[in-house]
């Protein structure tokens, strides 16, 4: 069955762009293409937008499914400006202070923020000798930021020469080192090393193997702050949806793409699982590239992203997320808390290297009601607890393991920061790597697609302009520059340099 592309009044002459997936990268791509004169249709498998930033609502509680830490807000402001609107008119963004409360397993606390004096005063309590090392580390982070973020994040890495051009700078910045290795060259105290090196875990990277380019996150956070939106991240997703709809873009929910159609080597549209075919001039996929190539282009001969190459690639961690509402409030718990378990390197090795579900865990605990009580019924709190776990290569039987694992987390939280939790639960929902695979079509159920190791970064990552099919473009966490809200918005920004002007289709 073939159906002509839907028509928006007055847009018949515009070239048609299909965007597969309404994750933040897909929505940002749609906005940019709409602003450049394309008629855009977004096809989304689920019943609502956001992808990893979907919102679960139950029993009066509102749960952001994924991203909660908003950095580099100028990237969002830019999207609003492209639509002639002001971000601050739609979204009430609040600066977090501290950025994160970090709790070590022995109960000690470190409030990490962008205030250098406050951070240094705390470092002095742990290890006075490291105060100077922190200053030097932040200077290094700034240098890496200038190259890695300002210089590279918005550039296309389409040709190997693009990589060759930056190699000398990367060598000077010692990008061959790991984040943990780089931090350790400035800091001696094992606790402070954790405080300054855990960031790659937020985008699925292993601090002990990921390229030290990612130390730029420390400076990025200090420069623009760590924010959260009133109404949760869902408010940002709704804002992005209102921008695309304002441009005349249609979002079709419950519309799963089965195949990208290729004619004469060029993307010509898609076929949905319903059998419907939709034609277009270009296709943009916001879906995990391993799925885009391995499933949606399964029948198309591929030179680079073959099944073998995908099988040999390293994928990021899986995530276990427990969303829960409580009948009472826990006012002492900050908006963002990181609870580090008894092991650091050992646990990370179990997750990434041994692919083994460990007995212990480190958690990120999100309590948005610390800032916005409207996300829970009166007198209650909304939480999620996130535990990085191995992806599905671990062979974990999540259908059997989810409940015992959740119960272990509940007990641990009850014994630490949420006393009496087990008797206070009003509502509960869990997500495992199996859900990432089945709901979001994420290869191996990974939380953040390809692991951000050096040999899977920049030119080595799936390109934003497909290497396999003309007229196909990729955005989102698995593409350059990588995962995280700033990363996926930047991937859409790269489209401006690789997608031809709409006028070329006239
Ligand atoms: C639990 C969690 C916490 C996180 N926390 C943070 C954070 O605090 N800060 C931060 O910056 N980042 C965070 N991240 C990372 C960030 O959320 C992601 O990197 C980013 O949102 C991914 O966006 P994306 O554009 O790659 O699309 P995705 O969110 O992956 O969306 C892809 C979309 O494609 C749809 N889709 C899949 N297959 C098909 C198909 N065949 N047809 C049609 N549609 C399809 C999916 O349903 C989905 O809606 C977090 C991620 C997770 C999972």
CA–centroid distance, 491 to ligand 1, in Å, is 13
Positive or negative: CA dihedral 370, 376, 379, 385: negative
Residue with token string 């030179």: 303
**Average pLDDT of the chain to the nearest whole number:** 94
**pLDDT tens-place string over residues 124-149:** 999 999 999 999 999 999 999 988 88
- Give the per-residue pLDDT at 103: 97
DSSP-derived 3-state class of residue 244: helix
Task: Identify the residue whose C-alpha is closest to ligand 1 atom 49.
Answer: 51
- Decide: 229 in ligand 1 pocket, CB within 6 A: no
CA–centroid distance, 492 to ligand 1, in Å, is 14
Residue with token string 């290297």: 353
- Decide: 285 in ligand 1 pocket, CB within 6 A: no
Mean pLDDT over 159-188 rounds to: 84
- Give the per-residue pLDDT at 460: 87
Tell me the percentage of the chain whose pLDDT exceeds 90.
87
- Give the per-residue pLDDT at 150: 80
- Decide: 488 in ligand 1 pocket, CB within 6 A: yes
Q: Is the pLDDT of residue 2 over 50?
A: no
The H or E element spanning position 32 is: helix 24-35
Mean pLDDT over 232-236 rounds to: 98
CA–centroid distance, 193 to ligand 1, in Å, is 29
According to DSSP, residue 442 is labeled -
| Packing angle of the helix pair 233-246, 24-35 (nearest 10 deg) | 30
Q: Is the pLDDT of residue 1 over 50?
A: no
User: Topology of domain 314-440, per CATH?
Assistant: Guanine Nucleotide Dissociation Inhibitor; domain 2 (3.30.519)
Mean pLDDT over 377-385 rounds to: 98
pTM: 0.96
Mean pLDDT over 487-503 rounds to: 96
- Decide: 130 in ligand 1 pocket, CB within 6 A: no
Which ligand 1 atom sits nearest the alpha carbon of residue 69?
A: 8
CA–centroid distance, 485 to ligand 1, in Å, is 9
Q: Which two tokens stand for residue 109?
A: 């606390």
* CATH superfamily label, 2-93+230-313+449-505: FAD/NAD(P)-binding domain (3.50.50.60)
- Give the per-residue pLDDT at 339: 97
**pLDDT tens-place string over residues 395-423:** 999 999 999 999 999 999 999 999 999 99
Do residues 464 and 442 touch, judged by C-beta distance below 8 A?
A: no
**pLDDT tens-place string over residues 275-304:** 999 999 999 999 999 999 999 999 999 999
Mean pLDDT over 51-80 rounds to: 97
Q: Is the pLDDT of residue 441 over 70?
A: yes
Positive or negative: CA dihedral 239, 243, 248, 252: negative
Mean pLDDT over 436-465 rounds to: 93
Name the pLDDT band for 29 (thresholds 50, 70, 90): very high
Which ligand 1 atom sits nearest the alpha carbon of residue 488?
A: 25
Bigger pLDDT: 169 vs 237:
237
- Decide: 45 in ligand 1 pocket, CB within 6 A: yes
Q: How far is the C-alpha of 417 from the C-alpha of 207, rounded, in Å?
A: 26
Beta bridge partners of 474: 285
Do residues 321 and 385 touch, judged by C-beta distance below 8 A?
A: yes
CA–centroid distance, 191 to ligand 1, in Å, is 31
According to DSSP, residue 150 is labeled I
Please choose, from the candidates 488, 505, 504, the residue with its C-alpha nearest in 3D space to the C-alpha of residue 30.
488
Q: Is the pLDDT of residue 11 over 70?
A: no
Tell me the percentage of the chain whose pLDDT exceeds 70.
98
Name the pLDDT band for 454 (thresholds 50, 70, 90): confident
Domain ranges of the chain: 2-93+230-313+449-505, 117-224, 314-440
**pLDDT tens-place string over residues 301-346:** 999 999 999 999 999 999 999 999 999 999 999 999 999 999 999 9
- Give the per-residue pLDDT at 394: 96
Q: Which of 150-164, 237-251, 351-365 has the lowest mean pLDDT?
A: 150-164
- Give the per-residue pLDDT at 3: 46
Task: Identify the residue whose C-alpha is closest to ligand 1 atom 52.
Answer: 66
Task: Identify the residue whose C-alpha is closest to ligand 1 atom 1.
Answer: 66
CA–centroid distance, 51 to ligand 1, in Å, is 5
- Give the per-residue pLDDT at 289: 98
């Amino acid at each position: 069955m073939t159906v002509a592309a839907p028509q928006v009044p007055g847009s018949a002459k515009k070239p048609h762009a299909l965007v597969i997936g309404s994750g933040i990268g897909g929505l940002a791509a749609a906005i940019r293409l709409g602003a450049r004169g394309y008629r855009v249709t977004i096809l989304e498998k689920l019943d609502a937008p956001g992808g990893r930033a979907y919102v679960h609502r139950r029993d009066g509680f509102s749960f952001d499914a994924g991203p909660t830490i908003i950095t580099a807000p100028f990237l969002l402001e830019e999207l609003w400006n492209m639509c002639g609107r002001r971000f601050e008119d739609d979204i009430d963004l609040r600066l977090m202070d501290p950025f994160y409360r970090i709790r070590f397993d022995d109960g000690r606390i470190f409030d990490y923020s962008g205030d250098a004096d406050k951070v240094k005063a705390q470092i002095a309590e742990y290890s006075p000798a490291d105060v100077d090392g922190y200053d030097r580390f932040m200077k290094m982070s700034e240098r890496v930021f200038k190259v890695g973020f300002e210089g590279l994040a918005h550039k296309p890495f389409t040709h190997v020469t693009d990589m060759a051009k930056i190699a000398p700078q990367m060598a000077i910045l010692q990008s061959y080192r790991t984040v943990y290795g780089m931090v350790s060259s400035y800091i001696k105290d094992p606790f402070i090393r954790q405080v300054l090196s855990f960031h790659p875990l937020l985008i699925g990277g292993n601090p002990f193997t990921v390229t030290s380019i990612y130390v730029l996150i420390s400076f990025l956070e200090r420069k623009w702050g760590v924010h959260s939106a009133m109404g949760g991240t869902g408010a940002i997703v709704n804002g992005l949806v209102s921008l695309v709809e304002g441009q005349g873009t249609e979002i079709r929910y419950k519309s799963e793409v089965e195949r990208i159609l290729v004619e004469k080597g060029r993307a010509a549209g898609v076929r949905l699982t319903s059998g419907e075919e939709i034609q277009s001039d270009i296709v943009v996929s916001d879906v995990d590239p391993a799925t885009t190539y391995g499933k949606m282009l399964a029948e198309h001969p591929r030179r680079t992203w073959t099944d073998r190459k995908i099988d040999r690639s390293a994928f990021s961690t899986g995530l276990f997320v427990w969303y829960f509402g409580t009948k009472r409030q826990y006012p002492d718990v900050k908006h963002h808390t990181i609870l580090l378990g008894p092991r650091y390197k050992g646990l990370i090795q179990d997750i990434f290297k041994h692919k083994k579900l460990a007995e212990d865990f480190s958690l990120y605990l999100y309590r948005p009601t610390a800032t916005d009580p409207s996300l829970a019924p009166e007198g209650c709190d909304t939480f999620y607890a996130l535990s990085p776990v191995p992806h599905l290569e671990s062979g974990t039987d999540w259908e059997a393991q989810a409940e015992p694992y959740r119960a272990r987390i509940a007990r641990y939280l009850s014994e630490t920061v949420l006393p009496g939790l087990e008797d206070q639960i009003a509502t509960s929902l869990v997500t495992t790597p199996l859900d990432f695979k089945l709901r979001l079509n994420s290869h191996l159920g990974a939380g953040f697609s390809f692991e951000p190791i050096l040999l899977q970064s920049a030119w080595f990552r799936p390109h934003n302009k497909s290497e396999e099919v003309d007229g196909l473009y990729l955005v989102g966490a698995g593409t350059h520059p990588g995962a995280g809200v700033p990363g996926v918005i930047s991937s859409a920004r790269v489209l401006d340099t690789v997608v031809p002007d709409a006028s070329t289709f006239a």
